[in-house]
Amino acid sequence: MPGSLITHIFPGRCLVCGAGDQVHLGLCALCRSQIRAVPEPVCAVCGSPIPFPGICLSCQSGRPPFDRMLSAGIFDGLLKDIIHAFKYHRATAFRKPLAGLAFDMLEHAGISADMITFVPLHWTRMISRGYNQAALIARELSGYMGIDMRYDVIRKIRRTIPQVGLKRSDRIGNLRGVFRSCGVSDKSVLVVDDVITTTQTAREVSRSLKRAGASYVVFVSVGRIIR
């Protein structure tokens, strides 16, 4: 992205602390230094930390429906505070630095796709919240990467309870068959979410996309919970 355009889109000050020095995609160097990357090496498929480079035992024994999963940082500290403010307190300006973190990671990894989309909310949740945080990040990321943004490829067909706190069997049942996809035949798809907690949402979304004919699915989040 041309420097003049970045300057036009982003103010000269950090959107978190207000500092004006070394600001890149809405965050100053000091704030960026407080966001911890997922420790490497990570699994080449699911992106979880592993002792040695390669593919983790879990993905070797049963490949997930997505082809690759990446996350920009660990969901704690400053990154957790930013995402919470963005998601629950209408601090939607944070979509810019959050998308910037994802962009820097994807650029470093050499990731591209035919289209960018996002994890949808059920319409009832969309009405109560007023916006889909994943969609806002995806829209910004689409502009940074120069890849078409698609709003119509994934639908959530029933409301579910939050995944946090559920047992594994309950998480699987809660999301089974809840997503429907279309318009992705023979396409590579990059799916955006704000946080990956258990990977179950990513699995169900990706399974839906593969059933609709997607050739390759990359699932990307800004934050990830590391246990």
Kindly report the number of other CB atoms within 10 A of residue 103's CB atom: 20
Rounded to whole angstroms, how far apart are CA atoms 180 and 53?
34
Reported as a pLDDT band with limits 50, 70 and 90, residue 127 is: confident
Nearest to 1 by CA among 75, 99, 91, 90: 99
Domain ranges of the chain: 1-34, 36-224
0.85 surpassed by pTM: yes
Q: Enter the tokens of residue 30.
A: 């000091």
102: Cα separation from own chain's centroid: 7
What confidence category does residue 222 fall into, taking pLDDT thresholds of 50, 70 and 90? very high
- Who wins on pLDDT, 52 or 2? 52
CA dist 46 and 67 (Å) reads: 8
Give domain 36-224's CATH number out of 3.90.1690, 1.10.238, 1.10.3470, 3.40.50: 3.40.50
The fraction of the chain above a pLDDT of 90, given in percent, is 79
